[in-house]
Amino acid sequence: MLYQVRMVHPVYAQMPPTIFDEMSGLARQHGAVNLGQGFPDGPGPRPVLEAAANALLTGSNQYPPSRGLIALREAVAAHYRRTQDIDLDWQTQVVVTSGATEALAAAFLALLQPGDEVGLIQPLYDAYLPLVQRAGGTARFANLQPPEWRLTTSVLDQLFGPKTKMIVLNNPMNPTARLFDEEELSLLARYCVERDVIAICDEVWEAVVPASGRFRPLIGFPGMAERTVKIGSAGKMFGLTGWKVGFILASPELTPALSAAHQFLTFTTPPNLQTGVAFGLDNMPEWFTSMPLDMARSRDRLTANLRAQQVSALPSEATYFLNVDLAASGVSMGDREFCLRAVAEHGIAAIPLSALYAENPATNLVRLCFAKVDETIDEGAKRFGAALRALR
């Protein structure tokens, strides 16, 4: 029996595949170098993999606690105390989720009522809007402007309205590769406190900061501890994106509702993966120094390769990504058309930034991922330069 579109929720009825699925599928189809979807080439840290493998074979494979293994919740709280000076009670303020996207879904479902307004900053991770809408919220948008991508009073005046209950901050920000500074975060915190607004902080890239800047969590700013939901990702921390192990951190007042939403989404997360993450957080402090340095080297290699071919690359302060300005590189066509032709005709997959807007998109920017081995970076940059020269 075929279901009619009217029987499907309108948020999902006409929704196409994500741009990441689309471009990765085209990369496979055309045998292209994939600098589009953000996943590393490497296998991840061996001790973390071994800890998870050993737990799979020798530990329990039955339901762990819905909020997460005690060992992992303790490790998460200790990690953030060491690295970000946040004092968290693992028992009342930490929930383990099946990835950060599930954590986002739990936050929206737990805290939004139908009609609540949510401030979203563009460009944005593509899951935000459909999750907000599915939870009954309505979106209010504000655009950051390249190449600086700064949070300003003007941007925040657009983001916050009289009915705004919640804002979503992605810091470090995908796809802009911005690491918001002290001044910007202080300004945002002031707006949240003065307007009594909840901040959902998608901070999955917090450990991937190859720039010299220091990451500051919004939850640590005055007045924000009681109104912030901080979301982290072990997949991003350890370069194990397929594991889908995330964390929610919030005040003891907010956590019960977040945990309740989580238990009716995935209920729990594979226990062996939780054990592996706990081991990494407790025993591998050197990883959090060496990994960002490796990412900085890869970023600089891709940037140098592109600029040697007269490609205009924007600064990248964090994440796995940097952006190319097509217009400044002499290309007049839009970013989506360029990416489709580049993957089909020149064997290089990238992400058009216009796909990461709900309205009023920038159409001259393309995102590339540098979390790759040197050979992939070199070949990808070569193919990208060739595509750019041919499509000018």
Together in a domain, 38 and 50: no
Residue 24 belongs to what domain range? 5-44+287-390
Find all residues with CB under 8 Å of 164, minimum gap 6, and list them: 117, 118, 119, 140, 195, 197
Q: Domain of 173: which CATH number?
A: 3.40.640.10
Find all residues with CB under 8 Å of 347, minimum gap 6, and list them: 30, 31, 32, 33, 383
Together in a domain, 32 and 61: no
Q: Count CB-CB contacts under 10 A for residue 140.
A: 17
Tell me which of 283, 304, 323 is where a domain ends: 283
Together in a domain, 114 and 246: yes
Together in a domain, 276 and 307: no
Together in a domain, 323 and 353: yes
Together in a domain, 99 and 229: yes
Together in a domain, 167 and 294: no
Q: What is the pTM of this model?
A: 0.95
Residue-by-residue pLDDT tens, the chain, 392 positions: 455 556 677 777 667 778 888 989 999 999 999 999 888 988 999 999 999 999 999 999 999 999 999 999 999 999 999 999 999 999 999 999 999 999 999 999 999 999 999 999 999 999 999 999 999 999 999 999 999 999 999 999 999 999 999 999 999 999 999 999 999 999 999 999 999 999 999 999 999 998 666 899 999 999 999 999 999 999 999 999 999 999 999 999 999 999 999 999 999 999 999 999 999 999 999 999 999 999 999 999 999 999 999 999 999 999 999 999 999 999 999 999 999 999 999 999 999 999 999 999 999 999 999 999 999 999 999 999 999 999 98
Together in a domain, 154 and 253: yes
Tell me which of 257, 283, 309 is where a domain ends: 283
Together in a domain, 51 and 136: yes
Together in a domain, 62 and 208: yes
Tell me which of 233, 248, 283 is where a domain ends: 283
Q: Domain of 32: which CATH number?
A: 3.90.1150.10
Number of domains in the chain: 2
pLDDT at position 10: 76
Together in a domain, 37 and 54: no
Together in a domain, 66 and 184: yes
